[in-house]
Amino acid sequence: MNSEHARLSPSSRHRWAADACPGSAREEARYPDKPNKYSIAGTFFHQLACECLETGYDAKDWPSLQIAYGVGEKYPEPTHEDLAAVQIYLDQIRFDLDKNPGELWIEKKVVISQEHWGTSDAAIWSPETGLLRIYDYKHGSGIFVPVENNKQLKSYACGVFSLINNAEAVLEVENVIIQPRAGGKAVRRWKVDREEFLTWPSEIERDIAAASHPDAPLNPGKWCKFCKHAPNCEALRERALITAQADFSDLHIHPSELQGEELAAALRQASIAETYFKAVRDHAFDIAKRGGSVPGHKLVKKRPVRKWISEKKAATILINRGVDQPYADPKIKSPAAVEKEVGDKGITRDLVVSESGGLTLALNSDGRPAVASSAAADFSEKPSI
């Protein structure tokens, strides 16, 4: 898998596009990539999916595959739910290929321009039907990614299109996002005819021109989330300030009285303010983690939750102990759910461990003990304050 990133990557095109924040490409280029547990997990499951498609294995066969990346210290052993999600992606591609035979490209580097290139998860070109399908797997569960007009997939489609020898034969393009863990439909498709597809290259050119201009403007919006420049972005700070002031001067409008477009506008503004304040929290957390002082705050462990040490072993033992269905499809029930069902007879100390999800910054009045800043280096969690 290719781990390099283009300056204008397809995955961030929703941010640097002409109708979003063209200046973000210039600003984000100043920061290094910082892997976190979500990006490490994403890379691992993409690699697993890629190797399964290449070898014919299923996701559950992952121990037989040579996937060294991320497992162990960086990423824990995949859960039943993780593997079930990857399997949905594999099954869909295999089914589509069976129904509509053609050429399958897996993890193919596609170049749209010198600065705009990326890696398409999978694509199937079926010359007999004239259908080009572009697949994108999303392992994340936090943000539901719609497929219609998705700029990332439009870019991949244009890149894959340029690899086809008889491009005249492409009659339809279908973009497919497979995101099983975010709720809603796991497989989402959006198909366009050739005429509409041929408008995409000029749309991309317009976005590249806007983002490549030395004075490309900064424009805060919902795309600020995950922007690397957000902690230092003056435009975002100003917009958050205006939003906060407007909110306080409009306190006579009770949230429950907001309707329609006014409600939607308030939600958009709230999202910008939240992004700004999240950047403030991240910054304070970083200072505390490095041993600095944030007056009135301290580092504490997140509240621990019980989880199975080994899901497989726990399921086998729980069945022997009278739990009919230890799996709540597609994953094993939590220790709390099993306890509710059979009492604490199923939950013995050899099966569960209480683990905190990391550190968080809390008020000094919080009852949890403070964690020494030297211990903070052992945790890479972002704050959830």
**Nearer residue to ligand SF4 within complex by CB, 150 or 360:** 150
Instruction: Supply the minimum distance, in Å, between the C-beta of residue 120 and ligand SF4.
Output: 24
Contacts of 343 by beta carbon, 8 Å cutoff, 6+ apart: none
Strand-pair partners of 132:
125, 173
Interface positions, 220-279, toward ligand SF4 (CB under 6 A):
220, 223-224, 227, 229-230, 233, 235-236
Q: State the Cα–Cα distance between residues 212 and 113, nearest whole angstrom.
A: 12
Interaction pattern, residues 194-223, with ligand SF4; x per rule: CB under 6 A? ------------------------xxx--x
Pairing of strands 331-332, 327-328: antiparallel
Identify whether the C-beta of residue 179 lies closer than 8 Å to the C-beta of residue 138. Answer: yes
Give the number of residues in contact with ligand SF4, rule: CB under 6 A. 16
Identify whether the C-beta of residue 178 lies closer than 8 Å to the C-beta of residue 186. Answer: yes
**Nearer residue to ligand SF4 within complex by CB, 14 or 333:** 14
Instruction: Supply the minimum distance, in Å, between the C-beta of residue 140 and ligand SF4.
Output: 19
Q: State the Cα–Cα distance between residues 379 and 288, nearest whole angstrom.
A: 12
Query: Cα torsion for 79, 85, 89, 90, to the nearest 10°?
Result: 40
Interface positions, 26-55, toward ligand SF4 (CB under 6 A):
27
Instruction: Supply the minimum distance, in Å, between the C-beta of residue 341 and ligand SF4.
Output: 47
Instruction: Supply the minimum distance, in Å, between the C-beta of residue 211 and ligand SF4.
Output: 11
Give, to the nearest 10 degrees, the angle between helix 80-99 and helix 37-55. Answer: 40
**Nearer residue to ligand SF4 within complex by CB, 15 or 301:** 15
Q: State the Cα–Cα distance between residues 315 and 196, nearest whole angstrom.
A: 51
Mark the segment that binds ligand SF4 (CB under 6 A) among 20-28, 111-119, 281-289, 301-309.
20-28
Mark the segment that binds ligand SF4 (CB under 6 A) among 19-27, 157-165, 196-204, 254-262.
19-27
Instruction: Supply the minimum distance, in Å, between the C-beta of residue 218 and ligand SF4.
Output: 4
Closest CA to 164 of 208, 134, 189: 134
174 is an interface residue for ligand SF4 by CB under 6 A = no
DSSP designation for 169: G
Residues near ligand SF4 (CB under 6 A) are: 15, 21, 23-24, 27, 218-220, 223-224, 227, 229-230, 233, 235-236
